[in-house]
Amino acid sequence: MFMTGKVLNIDEIKRLHKDSIRILEEVGVKVPSEKALTMLEKAGGKIDWDKEVAYISEKMVDKALKTAPKEFTLGARNPKFDLHMPTGQPTINMDGCGSNTIDLKTGKRRLSLLQDLADAGRIFDAIPSATVLWSSVKPSDIPSGGSGVISSATSMLNSGKHLQDEVQSINELPYIIELCKAFVGSEEAVVDRKIYSATYCTVAPLSHDKEMLEGTMGLTKYKAPVLLYPMPACGSTGPASLYSNVALANAECLSALVIFQLTTPGTPLIYGAALGRINMRSGVFMEGAVETVLMMTAMTQLGKHYGFPVIAAGCISDANEPGMQAVMEKTLTTLPLVLNNIDVVQGLGLLESSMTLSFEQMLIDEEIFKQCMRMSQGVDVCDEKDYFEDIKAVGQGGHYLKQKTTRKAFRTDEFYRSQLISGDTYDTWVGAGSKNMFDIAHEKVMKILEGELISPVDSNREKLVKEIIEEAGAKL
């Protein structure tokens, strides 16, 4: 029997959808783009042009839900890493746009560098559970105007897996397309292979950013998938009620759904969310709070109810460094999402509310994710697992270690084998150097970075990509 852990029943899901529609129809969404407002008005939306607010009807939402495809493939630079959506079982990826990195040599937090993105991409490729790479940090040593393109290019050079990043303005779009063409060869292949998708963040409460909106609208012309990613926080950018904050976030998601389906009908969309709450004493945003994962689980259920693949923030922590708080919060914010069969948990390797990257934490987080996956698989009650004959043979006071079924069973997936956690006695552990989980992860990280690229790029493509990086840095 599989383990489950839902927070909403079907009636509550329907009520939240109805509440979100009411928000769109009666409160509306700020859309500071004449192009988008004109399109919404032609589709039947009511527009307050002075306030740049669009009132979106239930009919418009229903139509958009029907035109959005529910299955597609996120292509990868290395085709063996192509990811079909929905995935069938959960995977994990990295959150994006952090500022800091914990240095591998000093162990100290510092501003992130471009090399950190390269290293993160290499480690990401070496993690079997990891599937969708979002450039995790904003390097401080590159031109700010071209940082989006340069970060995407660096990630793609060092990882063969699917890249999901932000199109921050329409000016970035030509470079993103040229970058994809450098790897797949033609504009037609860019449309077909879908090796790049966009994370689109709405601006809570109930707003869109003009530059990101128009940039992402432009990207939809290439049928690139878009992750819809609202981020209201209870008590600041969202109402101080988990229920109403989820309704608000869902309304933002549905507004983006309508806009992108009107722009390019049939655009592949991924339902997502990164809700949170604030610390009531300091006003600081909190990702690792238990209320966060309750809302993330609710959003996952809503996305699945609509039929979309879902990527949501999880495996997240407010801890300032690796340690007990990080492991506790990351476990709590991973398990409920896995139990609801989310497609991708988004938060690998990040600390400090996704502002700080730790390479060692990337491997620790995979360990957390894999243990949560094992827990979700529950207890297999079937004829093959019925060992009554062993029970009869061993009887009272005996031992099962000598049974053939025991030796066979311990080689199966029913019993999880950790690569980071020590199961040795104290004396054996001390004799092996008293290494903790972080120490072992550090050794593994260094081994990965000292090794060869898993998905190397040929010299001609690398030269072409570096030319795109140079031009983007100079012109943006």
Q: What range defines the domain where residue 48 resides?
A: 10-59
- Three-class SS state of 1: coil
> Nearest-CA neighbor of 256 among 65, 96, 74?
65
pLDDT score for 422? 87
Q: From CA 438, how far away is CA 471, in angstroms rounded?
A: 40
pLDDT in tens, 106-116: 999 999 999 99
- pLDDT tens for each residue of 355-365: 999 999 999 99
For 198, residues 6+ apart whose C-beta sits below 8 A from its C-beta are 164, 165, 166, 167, 216, 219, 224, 225, 226, 227
pLDDT tens digits along 20-41? 999 999 999 999 999 999 999 9
Residue 323 in this model has a pLDDT that exceeds 90: yes
Q: Are residues 42 and 178 in the same domain?
A: no
Q: What is the dihedral of CA 159, 165, 167, 173, to 10 degrees?
A: 20
Classified as helix, coil or strand, 112 is coil
Residue 280 lies in a domain: yes
Give the residue from 185, 201, 188 showing the smallest Cα distance to 134: 201
Please, which pLDDT band fits residue 1 given cuts at 50, 70 and 90?
Answer: low
Residues 76 and 52 in one domain: no
Q: Are residues 35 and 176 in the same domain?
A: no
What DSSP line would sit under 184-227, residue for residue?
HSSHHHHHHH--EEEEE--BTTTB--HHHHHHHHHHGGGT--EE
Q: Which pLDDT tens digit goes with each residue over 123-155?
A: 999 999 999 999 999 999 999 889 999 999 999
- Give the CA dihedral 114, 115, 119, 121, nearest 10 degrees: 30
Does residue 29 sit in the same domain as residue 78? no
89's CB contacts (< 8 A; 6+ apart) are 341, 373
Asked if residues 266 and 238 have their Cβ atoms less than 8 Å apart, the reply is: no
Does 15 lie in the same domain as 106?
no
- As a whole number of angstroms, the distance between CA 143 and CA 139 comes to 9
Q: What is the 3-state secondary structure (H, E, C) of 227-293?
A: EECCCCEECCCECCCHHHHHHHHHHHHHHHHHHHHHHCCCCCEEEEECCEEECCCCCCEECCCHHHH
Q: How far apart are CA 407 and CA 101, in angstroms?
A: 44
Looking at per-residue pLDDT, the higher value among 144 and 104 belongs to: 104
Mapping DSSP onto H, E and C, the string for 155-195 reads HHHHCCCEEEECCCCHHHHHHHHHHHHHHHCCHHHHHHHCC
Are 231 and 87 in a shared domain?
yes
pLDDT digits over 220-254, tens only? 999 999 999 999 999 999 999 999 999 999 999 99
Question: How far apart are the C-alpha atoms of 394 and 322, rounded to whole Å?
Answer: 45
The answer to whether position 161 is within a domain reads: yes
Number of domains the chain is built from = 2
Same domain, 92 and 51: no
**Per-residue model confidence (pLDDT) at position 314:** 98
The mean of the pLDDT values for the chain is: 96
* Whether residue 330 sits in one domain with residue 468: yes
Torsional sign, CA 327, 345, 121, 166: negative
Nearest alpha carbon to residue 312 among 372, 278, 251, 271: 271
Instruction: Indicate whether 366 belongs to any domain.
Output: yes
- Give the pLDDT score at 222: 97
Summarize the confidence of residues 189-201 as an average pLDDT.
98
- 79 with 39, same domain? no
Residue 2, pLDDT > 80, answer no
Question: How far apart (Å, rounded) are the C-alpha atoms in residues 180 and 353?
Answer: 30
Confidence of residue 89 (pLDDT cuts 50, 70, 90): very high
Q: Is residue 365 part of a domain?
A: yes
Is residue 203 within 8 Å of residue 255, measured between CB atoms? no
Q: Is residue 393 part of a domain?
A: no
Q: Is 3 domain-assigned? A: no
Final residue belonging to a domain, choices 28, 44, 59: 59
Lowest average pLDDT, out of 142-146, 333-337, 338-342, goes to 142-146
Based on the fold, state whether residues 27 and 77 are members of the same structural domain: no
User: 468: which 2 tokens?
Assistant: 């795109």
Contact criterion met (CB below 8 Å) for 231 and 237: yes
> For the domain that residue 137 is a member of, what is the CATH number?
3.20.20.480
pLDDT-above-70 percentage for the chain: 100
* Beta pairing partners, 276: 233
Residue 414 lies in a domain: no
- Measured distance CA(352)–CA(320) in Å, rounded: 5
256 occurs within a structural domain: yes
Tokens representing 328 are 């506790």
In the chain, the amino acid numbered 436 is: N
Please indicate, yes or no, whether residues 98 and 148 belong to a single structural domain of this protein.
yes
Residues 6+ positions from 134 with CB-CB distance below 8 Å = 93, 94, 95, 96, 163, 164, 165, 199, 346
Same domain assignment for residues 282 and 361 = yes
